[in-house]
Amino acid sequence: MSASTITQTKHSDAVVTKEPARGTMAALRKMMREPLVHFLLLGALILATSGIVARYRNDAARRIVIDKNLVVHFITLYQAQMGTIPSKSQLDGMIEDYIREEVEFREAKRMGLDKGDEIVRRRLASKYDFLQRDLVTVPDPSADELQRYYAAHQKDFLQPASVTFTHIYFSPDHGGDAAARSRAEQVLVKLQSGRDTRAPGMGDPFPLQADYAEVQRLDLLQQFGDSPIVDRVFAAPINRWTGPVRSGYGWHLVCVSHREEPNVPPLKEIHDKVKSAYIDDMKEKANQKKFEALEKQYAIDRSYER
């Protein structure tokens, strides 16, 4: 084969190679002019952009910022309600309550609990908290579990001291305060020489009752106010008249017939109460564990500490 023939063959091959390439480019240019292609490219761009925006919004939704302005708001609110500024532990408690509330509020919104419901953030957080608590079930404790719980929480089942007594009332409306006390002292002398353990008729009519059975200190404070008679009935000897002792009403002689010191009843007597407390405690621990796991999904930015 001559050199000219070889050259012509190579040239023909090059022409053949370039022709498909030119055809492909032409087809691409034609395709790019098609409205359908424009639509598909635009859709892909929108989809990619929405994905980026969605990721950004999700990150922002998982970020809770507690800045100095918010802390000042907590302090101001506490001071307005209580008349004093909160301690560090009280402020920390308010911040932790806010974080819990904010986490539950956002979870409530994520679940769509706010749709069509014009309520405040606290209500939404409460709804979420209620729903989560309602999902927790605790099996009935065994006898051993209940016994261990009872032994470890004795202070929770402590019954306050109670007292049973009668009293005689002497009103200062009849001759004044000094005269009422004097009359009480005279009646006390008579009672101490006798055997009567109940004698309301030896004094004046009392606006409440003359006899009290198994009453606790709080009950007496509500009836007599913060006055000496409350302490006296919890310290007076049994079945002996003592006094005169003051109350917000006037003067009294008291006779205590029975007093029960603070005590923890046997488990069999408060079985249902202990069981209920056990279940409530287990539910609370389960809910706290769930919340801690949920809270870890959020970035808590405590910028107020910087």
Do 42 and 22 belong to one domain?
yes
Quickly count: other Cβ atoms within 10 Å of residue 257's Cβ. Answer: 14
What residue type is 187 in one-letter code?
V
User: In terms of domains, do 177 and 230 share one?
Assistant: yes
Instruction: Specify the pLDDT at position 60.
Output: 65
64-78 pLDDT, tens digit per residue, is 889 988 899 889 888
- CATH number where 207 lies: 3.10.50.40
Based on the domain organization, do 91 and 109 belong to the same domain? Answer: yes
What DSSP state is assigned to residue 238?
A: B
Residues 168 and 124 reside in one and the same domain:
no
Q: How many CB atoms lie within 10 A of CB 75?
A: 15
> How far apart are the C-alpha atoms of 160 and 24, rounded to whole Å?
96
Alpha carbon separation from 269 to 143, 185, 191, 275 (Å, rounded):
14, 43, 39, 12
Asked whether residue 149 is domain-assigned, the answer is: no
**Mean pLDDT computed over 191-209:** 91
Task: Please name every residue paired with 212 in a beta bridge, in sequence order, or none if there are none.
Answer: 165
Tell whether 125 is covered by a domain: yes
Q: What is the pLDDT of residue 279?
A: 94
Of 61, 92, 109, the last residue of a domain is 61
pLDDT, residue 130, reads 81
Q: Compute the average pLDDT of residues 118-141.
A: 79
The whole-number average pLDDT for the span 100-126 is 79
- Shared domain for 169 and 252, answered yes or no, is yes
Three-state secondary-structure class, residue 47: helix
Residue 293 lies in a domain: no
Cβ-in-10-Å burial (0-12, 13-18, 19+) of 186 comes to exposed
Average pLDDT over every residue of 281-305? 90
Both 50 and 117 in one domain: the answer is: no
Percent of the chain with pLDDT over 90: 52
- The reply to whether 107 falls in a domain is yes
Q: Are residues 122 and 198 in the same domain?
A: no
50 plus 70 within the same structural domain: no
72 in a domain, yes or no? yes
Whether 33 and 111 map to the same domain: the answer is no
Q: Which of 61, 84, 103 is the last residue of a domain?
A: 61
In this predicted structure, the answer to whether residue 207 has a pLDDT above a threshold of 70 is yes
Asked whether residue 149 carries a pLDDT value surpassing 90, the answer given is: yes
Average pLDDT over residues 85-110: 90
* Same domain membership, residue 168 and residue 247: yes
Q: How confident is the model at residue 126 (pLDDT cuts 50, 70, 90)?
A: confident
Residue 111 belongs to a domain? yes
Instruction: Please provide residue 253's backbone torsions phi and psi, each rounded to the nearest 5 degrees.
Output: -110, 135
**For tokens 């308010």, what's the residue?**
94
Q: Computed over its alpha carbons, how large is the radius of gyration of the chain?
A: 42
Q: Which is higher by pLDDT, 160 or 305?
A: 160
Count CB-CB contacts under 10 A for residue 124.
21
Eight-state DSSP code of residue 176: -
* pLDDT above 80 for 51: no
Question: Do 26 and 116 have their domain in common?
Answer: no
pLDDT score of 133 more than 90 = no
Residue 254 structural domain: 162-260
Q: Is the pTM of this model over 0.75?
A: no
3-class secondary-structure state, position 211: strand
Write down the pLDDT at residue 275: 95
Q: Is 150 within a domain?
A: no
Do 51 and 80 lie in one domain? The reply is no
**Tokens representing residue 252 in the block:** 């009294």
Does position 143 have pLDDT exceeding 90, yes or no?
Answer: yes
Which residue has tokens 């910028």? 303
Please say if the pLDDT value at position 21 is more than 90.
no
152: enclosing H helix or E strand: helix 143-152
Burial (CB count within 10 angstroms: exposed 0-12, middle 13-18, buried 19+), residue 104: buried
- Tally of domains in the chain: 3
Cβ–Cβ < 8 Å for 91, 74? yes
* Bigger pLDDT: 54 vs 120: 120
Is 252 part of a structural domain of the chain? yes
What is the four-CA torsion angle of 254, 258, 261, 267, rounded to 10 degrees? Answer: -150
Over pLDDT 70: what percentage of the chain?
78
pLDDT at 105: 83
